[in-house]
Structure formats: structure tokens, C-alpha cells
Amino acid sequence: MNLEEMKIVVTGGASGMGRDFCLSLVRAGASVAACDMNEEGLASLADEAADAPGTLKTYVANVADESAVTELFEQASADLGGLNGLINNAGIIRDGTLVRVDRETGKVSKTMSLRSWQSVIDVNLTGPFLCTREFCSRVIDNGLAPAVVVNISSISRHGNMGQSNYSAAKAGLMAMNTVWAKEMTRHGIRFGAIAPAPVDTPILRNMKPEALEMMLKKMVPMRRPASTDEVFSAVKFIIECDYFTGRCIDIDGGMRI
């Protein structure tokens, strides 16, 4: 598949990696449906993409809401003249250890609340399920294959302290990526996953400089975060390589050597 032929939904498109994916795709001539909860971010994205050769449409939608997802794909499909691509990028982080012991009193507190657990599972795991189910049903029903889905997982899928919810969601997304490839490839829909380590996005830049420096020095052999362009290069590969399905590309600077 060629980038300029893509009619693709990108969730979490208003900021971070998703924003870069949208801009890179539309600059390559693709038709992009950018979805996010951040209406202001979507507006600025549309302004930035105005002179690109491709087409960008924006949609405010919650990927964890089944009716909102159905409406999103119905409208995006109508606006773009069908769909043949999806990037499941939307995600949130609500970090915290499972429990914490007070050093002075020895009191144990439950530091990861059910709300923090469920919100991350809803957006990072249920969201991709709802979006992919809607996308695949439309591709098959309307004969739009070949098509491709890119799932943005994380190196945290292997288990990262303080991220029970996020690690579980990203590991689950990887499992679903494998299952969906086995189920849907015969219908002409391929699946690929990308698992980045720290990426240079606003979330990372908001970390305390000394904490970020220590994390990169101790955990990442390349001692720097990935750029969003480097992650997009993997997105581009998955879209363009028609023999790639069911696998994951780790862009981790050597973290898992």
C-alpha cells in the first residue's frame, strides 16, 4: 500500500506521536481522519496541515465510547470516501504503584485506584478494540481491502514499575494484534504493532530534567528518546510492506537487548 492512497483514521491525533503521524501522512498525500478529545489541539492541527497535498478532517470523539466510535467511523468513511487504514494511537497514563508502604508508620495504602486502573484500560485497550472492530466490519462489508491497522503498543508491555494499568493495556494490545492478524488477514486486512521506548513528546518533556536524564542514562543504551519521525518510519514500513502482519517493531534504543 502507498501512503498517498491511504484513507486512514488516526486516534489521539491532536498531540504527541499522533499529531506527527497525521502531519506526515497528509504531507505524503494521504487522506487523514484525526480523532481526539482535545478540540483545540485538533483545530491547530488542521491549521498546520492546511497547505499539505493530502486531506485532513478532524473529529472530537472518545474512543472508549462505543456509540462515539460508531459515529466517528461512519462520518469519517463518508467524508473520505471509504477507509483503508487505522492507527490506534490514543492513550493515557495514570501511573502509580499497586500499594505503598509509609516509611515512617509502616501503613499500607492502595495507591493505584480503581479509577486510575479502569480509565487506562478503557482508553488504551477497549478503545483499540472498538475502533478496530468498527474499522474491520466496514472494510469487509464495503469491499475496501487491502487495508491495514497499526497498533501503538509500548516497551512497557514487558512490565514497568508503577504502570500496572498501562503495562497490562499495552501487553493486551499486543495480544490482540496477533489475534486480529490471524482472524482478519484472510479478509485482506493486515496488522502491525509498534512498541516505542521513551519518545520525545510533550509528556516526556514535562518530566523533571534530572529524572529524565537519569532514566535515559540508566535504561536506554542510546541515551536519548526516540523522535516522533523515527516512530513514524515504522508506521510507514508497516503500511507499505504488504507481507508484514501480526508482528511488532520495537523502537526502544536498545532497552530490550
Known catalytic residues? 166
Burial label, 160 (beta-carbon count in 10 A; 0-12, 13-18, 19+): middle
Strand partners, 151: 88, 193
Helix (H) or strand (E) holding 120: helix 114-121
User: C-alpha grid cell for residue 256?
Assistant: 530490550
58, 34 contact by CB (below 8 A): yes
Q: Which residues contact 91 (CB under 8 A, 6 or more apart)?
A: 12, 123, 124, 152, 169
151, 128 contact by CB (below 8 A): yes
Say whether 37 sits in a helix, a strand or coil.
Answer: coil
137, 154 contact by CB (below 8 A): no
Query: Is the previous residue joined to 202 through a cis bond, with omega within 30 degrees of 0?
Result: no
The number of residues making up the chain comes to 257
Angle between helix 16-27 and helix 39-48 axes, rounded to 10 deg: 30
What's the rounded Cα separation, in Å, for the pair 147 and 111?
42
